[in-house]
């Protein structure tokens, strides 16, 4: 028998040792995973904030009762306003502390400190925009009463922060990110208020986009995408082309609010209601996430009894009702931001020309803290018009730069107005409160128990000496300055109209005879038209009718556009079998964007593909997010060609028929990839769904902890039940995080829904408990009378 060589023997020994080594390795891995699992379980299972029992809040002057009802809404009963706001701060922090901290950090440009370098450009952007600087400047405008409310709220927040630190029960997000929140301040609350002005901003990005168009496209192509065709359009383009400034890649890291942020609101007089008194409905459309932007509360003291919603981190109630009045808002969307082309001195980058002289800019040194790194020095350069925003993530300093002038940079006391809303008793006292509400400009609808209904477009809206905010303008000539604001008594106002209702949906609110410029860019008209149609034809209306309208999914865009699209392709010899299946769905459709139907999927993806075919291969990708009112531009191009007019953009696609057919075929192919070849199996809700994503859920596997499975959702961007979605994934990103319906015949109870729920704690019963109601037109009642809401509520007693 032959003997084995040394190599062979060594190989055999190695093979014998390997299973034992593998076993130990696997055991080690399992132990590590077990340890991680135990740690994670212990973190998740740490106690959530106390909602029943007694807690000491030493700064109180008297005990405060907090009753949390079955929906998690706190009913706060205090013997003074100071104690009321202190308790509101404590209670809101109980439910939303991580959200509050993240909100103030984003608005202040301080995210990098806790999440690292990935947030650095975002921090630079918000440092440049200067929301926190504006908040600090605004503080001096507030009354002593409002300052006391802000300070009391901060004391309450800090009481909870201290308690959670002492007990080791800070929300799990802090433990995952490895930091603790700093003390809350009044400035933090005001900064969050300024962020809301940013989120409902004023079209600076559209001006930048039109500058880019003028630099890169023919006059005809550029002007076709302007929202308003300017007089002497060619001269406008020529003027823009005179200044060499390449904007591509300048704003890749810019935070651009969702273009479909908006709202619906309406109020109906007693002449059209079953009770003979008004009904008011409001549903603001902002980002949808976990937790909700909105936090519902009921605040009661000897001076007020008010319920509704507020941004977590701010005292009072911004939308809702008290015992006498109800109010709601939508965004006016006026042009309150102007881009100025600034001319820089070649030898000194901090000097900018103005009327033949060089002016020195103000420079703010904003050192940014970055997690696990050294601080990053950053300069914000501010001209007479505002901060230079075209260089926040760009190292070179060119001859020309863009600065931003914005009403929200001015000191303004919006919270003063909010606190006065809560105590107003009629239209006159509500109007007095509106005098303090400067930004963002909002469409207010109002109703009172005396039967009055009213409307007001309120806020600071500039009057310009020259220009109308369509394009960036030279900043050095002195010709384009603001002369002031639309006078108070000339802002659009309407009281008790003959038609018996008032409704807004970010639509055009004035006719051509109105003497002042408001904006070039209004929302697509379809939501507003649908609301008008229903209310105009309605009689003996009830709260149930209002809720049905808030959840209405009739698609007027499809009703207008689909006949044009179908006429353009129905006779084509190039239609494939799968295309014909898609067209059959559309031809049989009732124009309802229901989640179970296939036709909405075909229509919306076709409209999206039509837009992509026109622009994606020609407009630089880095500029697409700045394309203000892109959807409206596509609608208008279709209308224009249908009227027999020419479109340079469609001609570049080979004409209308080729554009429609190519887009349809790409749409059909995409749907087949998503949902299979059988058109009978296609449905909108499988693509169009809502997950209410948590901010940490993008880091897998944390999505398994914080998010629930996506829920199919009806509606769309153009239906009254607004639900905007990510173009690639279909996940719904924007919509009515809160819906409220208020009956002036019985303001002791109103109906609300907050998606996904009240609490930010993943283990709370109120974390995602309202998703089913939110997606299926459900509501809960929020009661004003203690004998009603105390019956089935949990009481937390806050004692001095």
Q: What's 633-668 look like in SS3?
A: HHHHHHHHHHCCCCCHHHHCCCCHHHHHHHHHHHHH
Per-residue pLDDT averaged across 401-420, rounded?
97
- Residue 236 has a pLDDT of 81
Q: Say yes or no to pLDDT of 388 above 80.
A: yes
Tokens 């986009």: give the residue: 209
Q: Say yes or no to pLDDT of 661 above 80.
A: yes
Per-residue pLDDT averaged across 125-135, rounded?
97
Q: Say yes or no to pLDDT of 280 above 80.
A: yes
Per-residue pLDDT averaged across 366-372, rounded?
96
CATH number of 558-712: 1.10.1400.10
Q: Say yes or no to pLDDT of 537 above 70.
A: yes
- Residue 200 has a pLDDT of 86
Percent of the chain residues past pLDDT 90, beyond the cut: 88
Buried b (16+ CB within 10 A) or exposed e, 570-596: eeeeebeebbebbbebbeebebbbbbe
Q: Say yes or no to pLDDT of 234 above 80.
A: no
35 or 719: which leads in pLDDT: 719
Q: Which two tokens stand for residue 739?
A: 């819906």
Per-residue model confidence as pLDDT tens digits over 595-635: 999 999 999 999 999 999 999 999 999 999 999 999 999 99
- Residue 45 has a pLDDT of 56
Q: Say yes or no to pLDDT of 7 above 80.
A: no
Percent of the chain residues past pLDDT 70, beyond the cut: 94
Q: Say yes or no to pLDDT of 202 above 80.
A: no
- Residue 34 has a pLDDT of 47
- Residue 27 has a pLDDT of 55
- pTM assigned to the model: 0.93
Q: Running DSSP on this structure, what letter comes out for residue 490?
A: G
If we measure between CA atoms, which residue out of 242, 247, 623, 204 comes closest to residue 398? 247
Q: Tally DSSP H helices, then E strands, for the chain.
A: 25, 30
Instruction: List C-alpha distances in Å: 76 to 300, 305, 416, 573.
Output: 6, 10, 21, 68
Q: Say yes or no to pLDDT of 671 above 90.
A: yes
Q: Say yes or no to pLDDT of 37 above 60.
A: no
Instruction: List C-alpha distances in Å: 371 to 121, 184, 233.
Output: 14, 21, 50
Phi, psi values for residue 54, rounded to 5°? -140, 140
- Residue 232 has a pLDDT of 72
Phi, psi values for residue 696, rounded to 5°? -90, -5
Per-residue pLDDT averaged across 559-582, rounded?
95
Per-residue model confidence as pLDDT tens digits over 144-201: 999 999 999 999 999 999 999 999 999 999 999 999 999 999 999 999 999 999 988 7
Q: Do residues 312 and 291 make contact, with C-beta atoms less than 8 angstroms apart? A: yes
- Residue 1 has a pLDDT of 38
- Rounded distance between C-alpha atoms, residue 661 and residue 644, angstroms: 19
Q: Say yes or no to pLDDT of 489 above 70.
A: yes
Per-residue model confidence as pLDDT tens digits over 85-116: 999 999 999 999 999 999 999 999 999 999 99
Q: Domain segments of the chain: what residues?
A: 558-712
Share the mean pLDDT of the chain: 93
- Residue 30 has a pLDDT of 53
Q: Do residues 205 and 256 make contact, with C-beta atoms less than 8 angstroms apart? A: yes
Instruction: Report residue 17's pLDDT band, with 50, 70 and 90 as the boundaries.
Output: very low
Q: Which two tokens stand for residue 618?
A: 């020609």
Q: Say yes or no to pLDDT of 6 above 70.
A: no
- Rounded distance between C-alpha atoms, residue 169 and residue 172, angstroms: 8
- Residue 229 has a pLDDT of 73
- Residue 25 has a pLDDT of 54
Per-residue pLDDT averaged across 749-753, rounded?
95
Can you give the C-alpha Rg of the chain in angstroms? 29
- Residue 77 has a pLDDT of 98
């Amino acid at each position: 028998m032959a003997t084995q060589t040394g190599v062979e023997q060594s190989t055999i020994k190695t093979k014998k040792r390997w299973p034992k080594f593998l076993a130990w390795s696997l055991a080690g891995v399992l132990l590590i995973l077990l340890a991680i699992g135990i740690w994670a379980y212990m973190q998740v299972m740490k106690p959530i904030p106390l909602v029943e029992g007694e807690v000491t809040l030493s700064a109180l002057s008297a005990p405060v009762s907090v009753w949390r009802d079955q929906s998690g809404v706190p009913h706060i009963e205090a013997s003074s306003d100071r104690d009321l706001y202190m308790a509101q701060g404590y209670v809101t922090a109980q439910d939303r502390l991580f959200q509050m901290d993240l909100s103030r950090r984003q608005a202040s440009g301080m995210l990098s400190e806790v999440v690292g370098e990935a947030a650095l450009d975002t921090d630079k952007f918000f440092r440049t925009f200067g929301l926190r600087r504006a908040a600090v400047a605004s503080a001096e405008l507030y009354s002593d009463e409002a300052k006391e409310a802000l300070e009391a709220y901060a004391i309450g927040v800090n009481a909870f922060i201290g308690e959670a630190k002492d007990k080791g029960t800070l929300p799990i997000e802090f433990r995952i990110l490895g930091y603790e929140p700093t003390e809350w301040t009044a400035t933090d609350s005001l900064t969050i208020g300024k962020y809301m002005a940013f989120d409902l901003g004023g079209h600076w990005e559209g001006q930048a986009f039109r500058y880019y168009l003028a630099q890169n496209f023919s006059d005809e192509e550029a002007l076709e995408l302007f929202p308003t065709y300017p007089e002497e359009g060619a001269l406008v383009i020529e003027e823009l082309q005179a200044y060499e400034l390449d904007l591509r890649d300048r704003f890749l890291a810019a935070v651009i609010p969702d273009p479909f942020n908006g709202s619906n609101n309406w109020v109906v007089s007693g002449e059209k209601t079953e009770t003979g008194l008004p009904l008011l409905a409001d549903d603001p459309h902002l980002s949808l996430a976990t937790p909700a932007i909105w936090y519902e509360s009921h605040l009661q003291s000897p001076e007020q009894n008010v319920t509704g919603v507020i941004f977590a981190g701010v005292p009072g109630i911004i939308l809702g009702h008290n015992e006498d009045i109800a109010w709601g808002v939508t965004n006016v969307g006026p042009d309150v931001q102007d881009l100025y082309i600034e001319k820089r001195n070649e030898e000194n980058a901090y000097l900018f020309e103005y009327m033949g002289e060089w002016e020195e800019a103000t420079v703010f040194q904003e050192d940014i803290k970055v997690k696990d790194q050294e601080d990053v020095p950053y300069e914000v350069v501010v001209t007479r018009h505002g901060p230079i925003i075209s260089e926040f993530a760009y190292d070179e300093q060119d001859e020309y730069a863009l600065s931003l002038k914005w009403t929200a940079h001015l000191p303004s006391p919006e919270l003063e107005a909010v606190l006065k809303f809560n105590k107003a008793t009629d239209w006159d006292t509500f109007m007095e409160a509106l005098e303090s509400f400067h930004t963002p400009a909002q469409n207010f609808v109002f109703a009172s128990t005396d039967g009055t209904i009213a409307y007001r477009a309120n806020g600071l809206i500039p009057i310009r000496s020259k220009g109308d905010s369509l394009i960036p303008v030279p900043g050095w000539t002195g010709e384009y300055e603001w002369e002031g604001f639309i006078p108070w008594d000339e802002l659009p106002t309407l009281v008790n109209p003959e038609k018996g209702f008032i409704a807004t949906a970010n639509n055009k609110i004035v006719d051509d005879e109105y003497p002042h410029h408001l904006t070039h860019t209004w929302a697509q008209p379809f939501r507003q038209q649908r609301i008008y149609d229903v209310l105009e034809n309605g009689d003996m209306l009830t709260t149930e009718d209002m809720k049905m309208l808030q959840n209405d999914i009739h698609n007027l865009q499809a009703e207008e556009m689909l006949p044009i699209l179908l006429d353009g392709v129905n006779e084509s010899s190039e239609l494939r079998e799968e295309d014909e299946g898609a067209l059959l769905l559309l031809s049989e459709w009732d124009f309802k964007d229901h989640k179970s139907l296939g036709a909405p999927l075909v229509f919306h993806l076709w409209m999206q593909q039509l837009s992509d075919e026109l622009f994606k291969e020609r407009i630089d990708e880095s500029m697409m997010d700045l394309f203000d009112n892109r959807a409206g531009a596509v609608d208008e191009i279709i209308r224009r060609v249908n009227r027999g007019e020419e479109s340079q953009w469609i001609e570049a696609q080979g004409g209308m028929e080729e554009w429609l057919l190519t887009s349809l075929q790409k749409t059909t192919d995409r749907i087949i990839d998503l949902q299979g070849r059988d058109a009978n199996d296609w449905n909108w809700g499988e693509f169009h769904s809502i997950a209410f994503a948590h901010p940490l859920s993008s880091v897998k596997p944390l999505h398994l902890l914080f998010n629930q499975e996506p829920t199919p959702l009806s509606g769309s961007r153009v239906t009254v039940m607004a639900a905007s979605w990510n173009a690639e994934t279909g996940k719904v990103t924007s919509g009515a995080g809160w819906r409220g319906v208020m009956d002036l015949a019985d303001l002791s109870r109103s109906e609300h829904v907050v998606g996904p729920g009240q609490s930010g704690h993943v283990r709370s019963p109120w974390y995602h408990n309202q998703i089913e109601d939110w997606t299926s037109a459900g509501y809960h009642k929020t009661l004003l009378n203690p004998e009603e809401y105390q019956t089935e509520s949990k009481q937390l007693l806050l004692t001095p």
